[in-house]
Amino acid sequence: MSLSTVLQQNLNEILNAIRQAQERSPNAAERVRLVAVTKYAHPDWVRALSDLHPVFGENRPQQLAERAELLPGQEWHMIGRLQRNKARAAVKHASLIHSIDSLRLLQAISNASESEGKAASVLLQLNLSREEAKSGFSPEEIRSLWSELTASAANLKICGLMTMAAATEDPEDARPTFRELREIRDELNLRDETTAAGIDLSELSMGMSGDFIPAVEEGATLVRVGSRLFAGLPTP
């Protein structure tokens, strides 16, 4: 089978699974978008996939910048940990930055937005699995920092929340994490500062190859899928 046949088949399976999860769950969002995570994908695969799917995600600013310049017709998302000194590259190349994990980074993105003359769209990342190695605000932190976060959003758009569930064998284990993200989103959307700042947390970025089905059932609007999309391809 050719490269693009395998990619099309994997893509169809994932899009069908998303659609079925949407149909069976009352908590699912009406519109769910697939972010194809290309961080480990060979450049030939990335090029072939760009004929089939419009939205790509990268987790490192350097590779994001390089690939966004090669394929400017794609919509590129920054999904990985971001240092403040890379804020400008992320603002320049990404249509959405999923991984804002501190107030200082939000402020750096705001400054970069001003100097790039482009209002960045961002998601705030929550660490709900309480794993040391994962970045993100804890629920307590995001609640206590909410006033400051919304006040720092003048040059940018806070569009929603993102999380990564703990890696497990059974995708069902991730469901409580996804439900918690939706509940925190609903709670923050009701706070006075949110409406005062004109913020609507409509996006929930959650679910990866191993757990995107419960994520969609719990309300994901963006799923970030990498390895499953490139399964069965020979290493070039």
Ligand X SMILES: *Cc1c(COP(=O)(O)O)cnc(C)c1O
Binding-site ranges for ligand X (CB under 6 A) = 37, 39, 59, 79-80, 164, 208-210, 224-228
Least distance from C-beta 64 to ligand X, angstroms? 12
Of 20 and 227, the one with the shorter C-beta distance to ligand X is 227
Of 80 and 219, the one with the shorter C-beta distance to ligand X is 80
Least distance from C-beta 58 to ligand X, angstroms? 9
**Quick one: 172 exposed, middle or buried, by C-beta within 10 A (0-12, 13-18, 19+)?**
exposed
Strand-pairing partners, residue 121, are 157
Least distance from C-beta 115 to ligand X, angstroms? 26
At 167 the three-state DSSP class reads coil
Least distance from C-beta 213 to ligand X, angstroms? 12
Residues 6+ away with beta carbon under 8 Å from 99: 78, 79, 80, 81, 82, 123, 125, 135, 162
- Closest to 39 measured CA to CA, from 49, 29, 25: 49
Of 8 and 209, the one with the shorter C-beta distance to ligand X is 209
Of 39 and 191, the one with the shorter C-beta distance to ligand X is 39
Residue 154 backbone zone (phi > 0: left; psi -120 to 50: alpha; other: beta): alpha
Of 37 and 64, the one with the shorter C-beta distance to ligand X is 37
Least distance from C-beta 221 to ligand X, angstroms? 15
At 121 the three-state DSSP class reads strand
- Closest to 219 measured CA to CA, from 25, 57, 16, 37: 25
